Structures are given as structure tokens and as C-alpha cells.
Structure 1
Amino acid sequence: MRNIRFGTAKAMFAATVAFTSGVGTSATAQDLGELVAPLSISYYAADFGPRFEQSSRILASEWEKLGLELNLEPIQFSTFVSTINVGGGLEDIAFVSVGSDPDRVDPTYWTYDQSACGQRRNASKWCDETYSALADAQRSMVDQTKREAAVKELQQLHFESTPWWPVTHNVFGMLWNNDKWGNVLSPSPVNPAETQVNPWLNMKPLGDDRILDWGYFEDVNTYNPLAEEGAVGWVRFIFDTFGKIDSDGSVMPWAAESWEFIDDTTLRIKLRAGMTFHDGKPVTADDAVFTLNKVIDVQPPSMAARIVTLDSAEMVDDLTFDIKMKMPDASFVTTGLPFLFILPKHLWENYEGDILARDVIEEGVVIGSGPFSFKEWRRNEVHELETHKAHWAAAEYDGLRRLSLGQPDAIRSALLSGQVDLATGILPTAAMDDLARQNESLSFVDENSHGTTMVWVNNEKAPFNDLAFRQALRQSTNKDRVIMEAHLGFANKAGSGPIPNQLSAWYDDSLPEVTFDIEAARQILADAGYGWDKQGRLHYPAD
């Protein structure tokens, strides 16, 4: 990890100018409390693209006008996920992005998983018991009108408390070699992640090259689907899920042919007939029941948020089973079915070690029923999958290689040389657009999504445990500048609440807009008793 000292004399001078021109006059030493110590901003390092450092620099330059000193701390993506996103290791501030994964079209991810007391994804460590009780209750509200009202109330409470706040919504780009590949379809309204049908399963080779080369970065920690947290979509190419998100945001049947609630707490699922695992064994309800009961028993941390309401699974016949729930769960079809997968019982039921630590590659059990089967992994170099021809939705090409190139410049060069056929995510969307304009062999599409960049702050420590400080930091978050300078215009301004405004069915558009205003932010701090010394540095309220 490299630490970048952002505080400079120039920035401190700007802070002093902003102070003397807008809010009060310099305080005397006896009027001031303790100096606010330097704060860190953690963000995804260059392996996840340049926009996170650029955005963090922009935010820091504005926040320093409040009299703060900021240090920038880039962290490699998989480390960031394990230590901060789900590891509880946020020190001060983080600028992060969460993708437009299928389950995130439901409000539970935004209102409960990221904000309720004690939830593993609640990286900002905020805890409000009243809010959390309502966030928990809305998950079991099968009455849509009541649930919408509860979700609206949650957004109001969240806005008032400001535990974290969104900055932009992602515009995802997809760039591909149109000389080699056709029928490349957009997965809108979500980004082209591996959990989607498009573009992956409908692409057609136009020549003799029947291996799709995707330029990405190294984010896989394990091919054990019970333990992987960063590359869950990639692993689900191999381990098929019961459902997938369709183009209208609904859940479409996938490994499950159909499902229905036979009562408030029992979901009956019928599997698609004729499915096989990659070793040729048939997929049955017995495999699904084994997998779900194993997951409920083990409670893998990577899956805990999605299975909290599950009690057990029971077989009905060879292709049918019931999922029993502890309580009604209005979000389960959206959050669970596109995420939960089927393990082959015959390869897992007799394993006696720590199932979460199982080395599935060493033991040769990277075997699922998905559209691709595992072939090879050379860490920080390449992941290679083969097309599972027996799959009902098998691709018309022979396999998929993910080249772990990491840096945007390397992906750009590989696209131009023909080494890479497809790029998503890591190469900035604006750069994809430019490349397509300059090269007839490259095609580009961009799509709005509910993927979100946001500011997390550690609500358990000062100064972030002070509502006034959080509100001031939010007021001085320059969303427009982040969009124009870090994303070169390829992003959308986020609204005021925790739910993305792209999810119009759930977003509360009555929330007031928080405009960027340094003077107003400084006034919030002054009204709360904070003060500035002659150097323009921010101090806590005096005792």
C-alpha cells in the first residue's frame, strides 16, 4: 500500500482564504478545542482503474478547504473488499464503488445490508436501532404498498443521519473487436458483469478464433464458491444460479424452471430438466437441497446477508424442492435466486475439513453446472474456462479467457494489438469511447446503471461520530467535479438518499438536494462549535 500525503501549503492557504472570506474570523487559542488530526481516504488502487484516485484527489482538495489534512491511501481491490467492504477495517474515509449487481435492484442491499446495525457490509459502522428495526422489517413486508412506504421512511432517516452518501452512478462501457465478434448485446439496465446473460452467452465468433479474450484484472481469491467474495460473478459462470436478472429488472428462470410461494414462508422451486454437472452427473433437487442446507449450516460470511431468513430446504421430488423461511422475505426472489448456486452433492457431502478453506483446484472439484467449466488459473496472468456444451444456454464459442492485465494502459494496448477481444470496467468509459472513434475494428456501447460510487466514513470515531461533521463533509462533496474530471462526463450525479435514483420504483425523489457549497459546510461546522486557527486548520469544539 502506498500512502500519498495530500496536505500542502497551497491547500492550507486555500482553506484560510475560504475561511476568512466566508465564515467568521480566526479564533484565539483558548477558544479552540483539539486540532482535528490528519484523516485518511482509502480507495481502490490503479488495478481497478484511475478514476478512484482522481476522484479521491478531487474530494480531498475540496475537503481541505474545511481546514482538514488528508492522506490518500490506495489499496488493491481484493484487499480492499476483504478488509474494508466486509472486514470492518475502515479507518477514516473511503471512496468506493459498488457494482450494479442483480440483487441490488432490491432496496434491501442499500437500506439494510449497508446500513443496519451489525451487518457485515455496513462498512461505515453506523448503528441506529430504530432505523435498523425498520430496515429489517421491510424485508418481510409482502404487501408492496406497505413496503414502499417503509423504504421511503428509511431513506428519510438515512438522509437525516448521513452515515454515508452517494456521489455518482456509473455509466458502464463495453468495448469489443467487431472484426472477430458479433451479436454483442448490452445487458442494460445492469453492467456487463459475469452474472448477466449478455454479452457473454449470445456473442458469436466471426472467424476461426473461438476463444473470447476479456481484458480485466486479478480479483479472484479462490474458486471455492462458498468463500469467494470479490469475484462472485466469475465463479458463477461455473456454478449456476437459480435465476438471473432480466432486461426489465425482474428475475428470469435459469437453473430453476419456475418458483412460487405456496405459503408466506415456503418457496417451492422446480429445477430445469436435463441439467448436468461438468463431470456428466445429473443435477437434481437432492443436490440443491444439500447445497442450501450446507450453506444454512455453515453460514459462509460471503453469503450471510442473503440467507439470513432461510431455515431449511426439503426435497419434494427429483426436480422439486421447498425452501423454508424463518419469516416472510419479500426480497428473497430478487436477492437470493440470482446469487445462490448448486453444488454437486457427490463431491461435497463427505468432505470433513473446513469447507470454507477447501482448495477446490488442488482437489479437482471446481465442478458446477454453469455455462462454463474450469480449465486453468495462473494467478495474475490468466483465467481460462471452457464452454459447457451440454448447458441449455451454451455459448457458440469454445471458451472464455480472462487476461489479468490490471492496468488500463495494458488493456488499451492489448485491444489495439488484438490480444484482447472485449473490455469492461477497468478501462475508463471515456477511453473506450475514444478508442472506438479512432478504430473501425472496435465498437463501443455505454449504459446507465445503478452502480454507485460513495463516501463511507467511520461512524464509530471522531470526528465522524458527530452528525454536524458528516453533514459538512457531505455538503462539501463536489459531485459535478468528480463527474467531469474523474469520469470525463461518463457518470451520473447521485441523488440524496441511499437508494440509487435509477431505481425509480424505490427511490424517494422528495429528498432535498444537497448542493455543493463550501461556505455552507463551514457554517455547519461553526454552528456546531468547531473553529479554525490562524493557519486555517480545523479544531474540535472547545470543552
Structure 2
Amino acid sequence: MKLMNPSHQRKRWYPLIVFLALSVLMIFAACGLAPASLPGATHRQIPPLTLLTNTESYDPIRYHAAHQMADWWQQLGFEVEVIPMEFNELTHAVRNFDPEEKDWDAFTMSWTGRVERADPDMFIYSIAHSSQAGIMGNNYCEYRNEAYDALAEAQRRVMNPDVRREVVYAAQEKLAQDVPYVTLFYRRVVQAYRQDRWENMTAMAGEGIYHEWLPFHAQPRNAHAKETMARLVIASNQEPSSLNPLTASTVWEWKLLRLMYDKLARVNQYFQPKPWAAREIRQVNDVTIDVILREGMTFHDGQPVRPEDVVFTYDMMRERGVTYFAAFLDPIEEVVLLPDRTIRFRLKEPYAAFITMTLAQIPILPEHLWSGFLPEYERAAPTTPGASENMPVPLVGSGPLIFETWEHGKRITFRKNPHYFAADDVDLDELIYRLYPDTESVFQALLSGEADMTGVNLEPEQLSRAEAFSEIKVIQVPDLGFHYLGFNCSRPPFNDPVMRQAAAMAMDLDYLISQYLEGLGDVGGPGQPISTGNVFWKNPAVTQYPFDITKAREMLHETGYTWDEQGRICWKE
């Protein structure tokens, strides 16, 4: 066999190589890619993205949605590593106080729509204002924009709801433009309970039946309830990380803490704040609010609840910079004790949501226990925020339920407070928060009668199964919160708004609703923190980006991003 001279071989294949190269050039040009994307050009690949999400057992919908979004982003040219994490571990990673230690690019999470969050301040100010980034707390995405900050601040100062709504609308438009996160969907709250055992299980928008009014609403059906133990068992697949009111930062902690502690106000199912531990709340002027404390209240250890306890709590939380409540405590200039059990709050400037977002959220702590405990607490973590969150704290409040036991991984038990000022309105004797490994186990506990209600959402496929049991009552209400994908805006590549816009455009949100929620929810979009269930405050003009990966690539190309011969996206040169 005669061997061909290598130089002759190269000449033979040269026309074909040229033809193929020109063909590739034409294809890349048609896709909107520059000639720099061809072999031989100098490229610096963008490293693989890290996308944090929850485990499948915690929330299979967000887990699978995260993998789906990774597939879409790979069509943009990214390599994406999806990292499932246990809920408390995920929360800690996302909420890390030091932006330089946020070693991730994106994450999936949700903000629960507790009823007080019907006021837009939580989602407009607390999770997106630049003062809440870094060590301040709830701005996990590290989003910073002066123009947006001005809008978020302005909506707090406007007392007229109709005028304030226009500012809230403008803030939503700015978020849609900058895309610090993408709202994936507003999932309907779907929970269930044993109607053969309990009645009057009132559902509230954003929270379903598992809300802070539960002890006052739930009534046992047992005709002999007064002679037997009325025990309400809530099934959940998520254990709190702690019950420390200074460091608690998740819905699973506060859903229990607000049953143990009283607040000066509570928000009812009509989104209206109602004086609670306060007998009366008086708006003296735009920056002065007087609160008259209810008489006859006691803490769980029998000590009286005094106006001094309220002043102590607010001063201590402000001085310590409790991150979860920082946005709602910052407006306070001072808290002053007046005669006749009156506490005066002087604000730095008008704050439209003060009663709803501050008075209705801050728990009243007993000074006689915490004043002696704090020095020890401070020595445990004198400078590092969160370092002492697992340190035992006095679990003594003045609320309707008294903490009894916590068997880690199994249950948390509470009993009725017989000395509560509204004890006659509480018909349950004991509440057990029972833990299960996953949502299916939660569902099975309900069906078997081991539990009385679900503390988490039913999965779509469980809905039809539950309706086959006459003993089970399923409720559905709109959510006031949202499930979202957040970007790490503090580092490349997502510190570039165009990159965030392109990533948002490469996500088919309608597909998520149909594929994973089976229609039990509404589509989200870029930014968009206000739920479709919160009609008054939601800007109807702000909509989702069209799903268009080709256009997303064109946007990136126009701003200087390129692709290498493997199709991997590269940094701007």
C-alpha cells in the first residue's frame, strides 16, 4: 500500500477544511456570534455556575425546577452545577453575612406570604434595599442600586395608600429591569386537615390554616373535648434550626415563635392590624405612635408583662442589630415610657407600615430573664453575628402556648397557657409539631390519622388522592409570597444586569407552572415580589420576559460576550 506524503495529504484536505470553516462562520453569524467565537481565538471561559437549591425531600417542585433551569442555561453556553442542600444549610449559605463568602452564583428559595406581608414594605424594602445587603440581613442577592433605594425609601414615607401604590408600582418596574432575582411562580397554598376531628379551621391568604390565629380558631369536634385532651398534631418535614428570637430567620421558626410570644398587634385575615398585647394604638402624628399596654398579662413564668418589658425588647433588638427585623426597627428614633402604661414610639421619619410591619412582628421578651442572660449571651459571641444562635435561651413568652419539650428530629410540644388573657378563646390543650422525613410521609401521616393537619403544602399529585377521603378537608388560598431564583449580584457573571436579563429570558416560567405545579399557581417574572393574590399592590403592567434563548444569546453577544469552539460562554474581552 502506497503511503501519501503528509504535505500532499494536507493539500488534499485543505479545500474541505476551508469549506467547513466558512460554513461554521456562517452558522455562528446566523446565531448572532462574533468571529471571535471561532477556533483559534483567545477566550476565557466563564467558570461553571453553582446553583443552590433544596433537597428533593423538602420541596420536589423547586428541586426539579432548579435542574430544569440549569438545562436552559446550558443552552446559553453555561456549565451549571446544581447543589441540593438541607433547608437550614441552604438558608445559612444564602444568608451568609459576608458577601465575599457567598461562594455561589444563584439559588432557589421562597419568601412566605405571612399575612402581615400583605403590606408591600417587606418585599419592596427589606429584601431589596442596599442597606439590607451584607451583614444587615434579608437582601440575600446583594442587590445595590441607588435609584431603586430611593423608591423603596419613598414608599415608606407616603401615608396615603393610593399615592403610595404608585411608588410601589415604580419600584416593581425597576426590579423587573434590573432582575436581582426571578420570581418563578406564586404557588397556591394547598393544605389539608382532618375534618372528622377539627372544625372552624379558618384559612388565611398566604398562610392557609397554619397561621398565628390557629389556637383561637381550631375547635375539636369531639363531644367530650372538655373532658379529654384536645391535642392538635401538625405534620411537617422541616425542623427549625433554633427557637432563639434574636437569630430566628425562617418561616419554620417564626410560625412556632409567634405562638409563644405576644406582639403589640396582630394582623387579621382581612390584612388589618389589630391591637393585641396593646389595648390601644394611637397615631399621634406621622412620626409619633402611642401604645397603651393591655393590663393583667403575665409571662409563662407568672411574672407580669410590663411596659418596661416592651421598651427593653425594642431597645435591645435595636442595639444588637437583630438582622431579621432590622428593616422594621431602623425607622425608630427612640422608645419612651410614659405614664399610664403608655409606650411612645418616635420615628426618624414617617413610616406607613409601622403598625403592620413593626408592632405586629416584634415579640415581647421578659426583661427579668433576658437582662441577666444577655451578658452571658454576648460573651458567647461578642462580635460575630449569629455565632451564638444555638446557645440555649429563655423560652418564656406571654403568648397563647407554652413551650414544653423539643425532641430533635421528632417533635416540638406546646401546651395551652391557662392564664392567657384570651384563654377562653383557645379550645386546644396541646399542640404537637411532629416531624417527618419528606412531604409524602407528611401526607401519609394525615391519611392514617397520626396527624391532624399539614404544616406544609400538598404536592399537586397528592391533591386528588386527598379528595378521595371524606375525613380529609383540602383548602386552597392565594399565596402572598413567592418562589424565586436569586442571583449573586456581588460577583461576576451576575453582577452584570444584562447577564441577569439574559438568564431570565432563558427560563420558561409557563412550563414550570404546567409541568411541576399542574396549574396550582400563577406565573412570576423578573423581580415581581408582589403576588397575584395581593391585587391592590401588584403592578399589572409588569410582566414576564418572553422565553427566547436565541434572543438572550444575541443580548449577550451585543454587550461583548463570546463563545468558544465548545460552545461555552466566555468573558468579555
2:564 to 513, 525, 533: 533
Is the 8 Å Cα contact of residues 329 and 358 (structure 2) preserved in structure 1?
yes
Match of 2:404 in 1: 375
Aligned counterparts of 1:22 and 1:407: Cα–Cα separation in 2: 48
Tell me if 1:133 matches 2:133: no
> Considering only CA atoms, is the larger Rg found in Structure 1 or Structure 2?
2
Distance (whole Å) between structure 1 residues aligned to residue 392 and residue 554 of structure 2:
62
1:97 to 110, 117, 127: 110
- 1:171 partnered with 2:188: yes
Q: CA 1:287–1:47 in structure 2 vs 1: closer, same or farther (change >3 Å)?
A: farther
More helix per residue: 2
| Cα distance in 1 for residues equivalent to 2:287 and 2:103 | 37
Deviation at 1:46, TM superposition (A): 3.5
Give the C-alpha shift of residue 363 in structure 1. Answer: 7.2
* 3-state SS in 1 of match to 2:481: strand
List runs of 5+ in structure 1 lacking aligned partners.
Answer: 1-15
Q: Which residue of 1 aligns with 2:439?
A: 408
Query: Deviation per CA, 1:257-300, whole angstroms, max 9, x where unpaired?
Result: 32122122211112233322212222222221222222222222
- 1:459-482 superposed Cα distances (whole Å, 9 cap, x missing partner): 122211222211111111111121
Identity level (%): 24
Indicate how the Cα distance of structure 1 residues 413 and 153 shifts in structure 2: closer, same or farther if over 3 A, else same. Answer: closer
Shift of the alpha carbon at 1:47? Answer: 5.0
Matched, 1:493 2:523: yes
Q: Distance in 1 between matches of 2:321 and 2:427?
A: 37
Give the letter aligned to residue 444 of structure 2.
Answer: S
Q: Which moved more, 1:133-142 or 1:93-102?
A: 133-142
Residue 337 (str. 1) matches residue 359 (str. 2): yes
Corresponding position of 2:491: 461
- The answer on 1:221 being equivalent to 2:250 is no
Q: Distance in 1 between matches of 2:190 and 2:233?
A: 17
Shift of 1:431: 4.1
Describe the shift of the 1:189–1:258 C-alpha distance in structure 2 as closer, same or farther (beyond 3 A). farther
Aligned-partner SS, 1:127: coil
Does the 8 Å CA contact 1:98/1:453 hold for their aligned counterparts? yes
Distance 1:21 1:106, change over 3 A: farther
Q: Please say if residues 495 and 501 of structure 1, whose CA atoms lie closer than 8 Å, have aligned partners that are also in contact.
A: no
The aligned residue for residue 471 of structure 1 is 501
Match of 2:217 in 1: 202
| 2:52 corresponds to 1:23 | no
Matching of residue 314 in structure 1 with residue 329 in structure 2: no
* C-alpha contact 2:522 2:532 (8 A) present in aligned 1: no
Deviations 1:61-92 (A, max 9, x none): 22211121111111211222233136343610
Paired amino acid for 1:173:
V
Tell me which of 266, 285, 301 is aligned to 2:307. 285
Shift of 1:31: 4.9
1:45 to 46, 55, 76: 55
Offset, 1:426: 5.1
Specify the code of the residue in structure 2 equivalent to 1:313: V
- In structure 1, C-alpha distance between the alignment counterparts of 2:139 and 2:282, rounded to whole Å: 31
Counterpart of 2:232 (choices 212, 224, 231) is: 212
- Structure 1 window deviating more from structure 2 (221-230 vs 159-168): it is 221-230
Instruction: Specify the SS of the correspondent of 2:397.
Output: coil
Secondary structure of 1:236 counterpart = helix
Aligned-residue offset at 1:42: 0.6
Residue 136 (structure 1) shift: 2.3
Which residues of 2 match residues 1-16 of structure 1 at below 5 A?
Answer: none
Partner Cα separation in structure 1 for residue 29 and residue 114 of structure 2: 45
Residue equivalent to 2:12: none
The answer for the alignment partner of 1:154 in structure 2 is 171
In the other structure, the counterpart of 1:107 is 120
> How far apart are the structure 1 equivalents of 2:67 and 2:391?
43
* Pair 1:58 & 2:68 matched: yes
Corresponding residue number in structure 1 for 2:13: none
Counterpart Cα distance in 1 of 2:469 and 2:543: 44
Q: TM-score, normalised by structure 1?
A: 0.89
Deviations 1:298-346 (A, max 9, x none): 2222322221111222222353211122222112112112211111222
* Aligned length, in residue pairs: 522
Distance 1:83 1:264 in 2: 39
Shift in CA distance, 415/377, structure 1 to aligned 2, threshold 3 Å: same
Find the counterpart in structure 1 of residue 85 from structure 2. Answer: 75
Contact 2:115/2:204, CA 8 A, preserved across alignment: no
Secondary structure of 2:62's aligned partner: helix
Rounded Cα–Cα distance in structure 1 between residues aligned with 2:530 and 2:443: 33
Is residue 215–residue 428 contact of structure 2 (8 Å, CA) maintained in 1?
no
Deviates more, 1:327-336 or 1:486-495: 486-495
- Paired residue secondary structure (1:43): strand
Distance 2:524 2:365 in 1: 39
Higher mean alpha-carbon deviation, 57-66 vs 272-281, is at: 272-281
Q: Output the amino acid matched with 2:154.
A: A
Do the aligned residues in 1 keep the contact of 2:242 with 2:248 (CA within 8 Å)?
A: yes
Tell which deviates more after alignment, 21-30 or 86-95: 21-30
